[in-house]
Amino acid sequence: MNWLVQAALRFRIIVVAAAIALIVVGVRTADDVPLDVFPEFAPPRVEIQTEAPGLSTEEVDNLVTVPIENSLNGIPFVAQVRSKSVLGLSSVQLYFERGSDLITARNLVQERLTQAASRLPKVVNQPVILPPLSSLSRAMKIGLWSETHSQMDMTVLCKWTIRPRLMSIPGVANVAIWGDYDKQFQVLVNPDRLRSNNIDLNTVMMSVTKSVQPTSGGFIDTPNQ
């Protein structure tokens, strides 16, 4: 070590110039370093969320979560499957073996999920595979309550005001809403009145379906146009 100290003192101008050059190069390349502040320590993960408006927690688990889990069983390199069912929302997480390619894993899940989606109830929305997220990606959980607004009003506020504003923030990949209660149009059928008017249930279902489908308003001919 003595020769190193002696050489640094003898060629101090060169040492100072080299130190300044290293600092400049380090500052310029700091933004391009392919490393996170917290290195990824969790195995590759794919998360699937499915919204089921109007379904209770037990119905979500039986009608949505379990069928999706059964369809995803047997995917190569899957180490563990976890799920969570709450009011109106199902979440299924697949943890793959360390070293597995995340893009290949997402493609395998998408193939199985396409088959499972066709067997889910019609009231359930299309299952969605969340964007790739790191193990430290979930930064915040927010709880909302009100003494003057109903759960339905809070749902409208979350979906049409809070979620769009949070999604507009750079770096936010997803905003999940748990326990929502959407507005619905419900048709309550009276079997006795159907029989008295000689109408079956399929006719009512077709009429309701046509009444809520978006269609054009048509046009009217006038002398000018």
pLDDT above 60 (res 15): yes
C-alpha angle 36/108/123, rounded to 5°?
Answer: 100
pLDDT above 60 (res 37): no
pLDDT above 90 (res 207): no
Given a contact cutoff of 8 angstroms between Cβ atoms, the answer to whether 141 and 175 are in contact is: no
Could you read off the pLDDT of 176-202 as tens digits, one per residue?
787 777 777 788 888 898 889 888 888
Higher pLDDT pick, 212 / 59: 59
Q: Using CB atoms within 10 Å of the CB of residue 177, give its burial: 0 to 12 exposed, 13 to 18 middle, 19+ buried.
A: middle
Given a contact cutoff of 8 angstroms between Cβ atoms, the answer to whether 106 and 46 are in contact is: yes
Question: Which range in 21-25, 50-54, 136-140 is most confidently predicted, on average pLDDT?
Answer: 21-25
What secondary structure letter does DSSP report for 127? Answer: P
- Mean pLDDT of the 103-128 span: 88
Q: What is the reported pTM?
A: 0.55
Sheet holding 78-86, edge to edge: 78-86, 89-96, 45-51, 128-129
